[in-house]
């Protein structure tokens, strides 16, 4: 019965959902909102946690070790399910507890071969990669985020055909454009504004994420927004999930394809996508997220939830 109800609910949502959600948007995150990524501790009051010298995101390195071991394409036709489950197994072997998960704007078959670029994406391939080690900060300095990004750049060029002229990299290394709040927001806006139907976009973030008090009272189920932490967060502030939704999700054109990898803590719902596959051993297909707040989602588009599913 639950399966039937979920399917009926999904069918109604797919029929009536806002046109802005018609684009193909997929996201892999290193952990659920309630979890903290491997090299950071929970941010109770907002100050960056001390990673004790550990390298940055365990999610990126684990994923690349599966897909691009020794700089070779080692996917071997693994499905999304297999990749995410193997990531979890590898993380567990390394003593990490986070559960990789994949969310999407529409239900996708997670048992097909893993690919960052779907077959139907025949247009331009563009990428934005952001790595923040918080160089020079008093606290929360990471050590692996620059490597994460540079390794990922090599992977998407070698395996997925992305070209240098269409790849933007933000690193706090003194050489690349700095990942300030303004630069990150502008980079997201630019890559989305350039997108057309058939294009494939890849966005990767490796750095700190956190939870902060929800600024739209009652909007988040847990009373907090998820947020990214730019290098100048102490003066410019954070990038909330609502900001990302407004500049990435809403303007994404129908027919474009976006794949995001967020390797940071509290990243499970950073893009507020309704469909979920969690590599916790209990799921075999992607389903509507039981905890998803449709009222909040529809409110972002100025639609009322009342009567939507009547």
Active site residues: 208, 265
Q: How many CB atoms lie within 10 A of CB 217?
A: 8
SS3 129: strand
- Sign of the Cα pseudo-torsion (106, 110, 111, 116, in order): positive
DSSP secondary structure letter of residue 114: P
C-alpha dihedral, 15 to 21 to 25 to 28, nearest 10°? -90
Query: What does the DSSP assignment read for 251-283?
Result: TPPTT-EEEEEEESTT-TTTT--SEEEETTTT-
Q: How many CB atoms lie within 10 A of CB 71?
A: 12
CB 149 within 8 A of CB 130: yes
> What is d(CA 84, CA 77) in angstroms, rounded to the nearest whole number?
13
DSSP secondary structure letter of residue 31: S
CA 272 to chain centre: 10
Q: How many CB atoms lie within 10 A of CB 196?
A: 10
DSSP secondary structure letter of residue 265: T
Query: What does the DSSP assignment read for 211-258?
Result: EEE-SSTT-STTSEEEEE--TTHHHH--EEHHHHIIIIITTPPTT-EE
Element (H or E) spanning 89, and its range? helix 80-93
């Amino acid at each position: 019965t639950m399966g039937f109800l979920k399917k009926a609910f999904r069918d109604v949502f797919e029929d009536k959902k806002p046109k802005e959600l018609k684009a193909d948007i997929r996201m892999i995150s290193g952990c659920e909102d309630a979890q903290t990524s491997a090299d950071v501790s929970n941010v109770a009051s907002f100050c960056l946690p001390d990673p004790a010298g550990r390298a940055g995101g365990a999610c990126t390195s684990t994923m690349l070790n599966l897909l691009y071991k020794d700089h070779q394409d080692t996917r071997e036709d693994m499905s999304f399910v297999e990749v995410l489950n193997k990531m979890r197994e590898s993380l567990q072997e390394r003593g990490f507890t986070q559960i990789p998960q994949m969310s999407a704007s529409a239900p996708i078959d997670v048992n097909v071969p893993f690919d960052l670029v779907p077959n139907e994406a025949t247009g331009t391939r563009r990428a934005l990669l952001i790595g923040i080690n918080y160089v020079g900060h008093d606290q929360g300095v990471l050590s692996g985020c620059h490597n994460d990004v540079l390794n990922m750049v090599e992977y998407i060029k070698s395996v997925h055909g992305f070209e240098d002229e269409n790849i933007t990299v933000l690193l706090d290394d003194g050489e690349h454009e700095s990942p300030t709040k303004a630069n990150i927001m502008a980079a997201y806006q630019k890559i989305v504004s350039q997108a057309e139907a058939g294009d494939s976009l890849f966005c990767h973030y490796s750095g700190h994420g956190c939870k902060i008090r929800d600024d739209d009272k009652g909007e988040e189920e847990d009373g907090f927004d998820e947020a990214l932490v730019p290098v100048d967060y102490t003066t410019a502030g954070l990038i909330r999930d609502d900001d990302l939704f407004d500049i990435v999700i809403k303007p994404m054109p129908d027919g474009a394809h976006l794949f995001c990898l967020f390797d940071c803590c509290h990243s499970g719902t950073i893009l507020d996508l309704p469909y979920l596959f969690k590599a916790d051993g209990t799921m075999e297909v992607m389903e509507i997220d039981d905890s998803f707040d449709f009222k909040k989602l529809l409110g972002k588009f100025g639609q009322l939830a009342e009567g939507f599913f009547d």
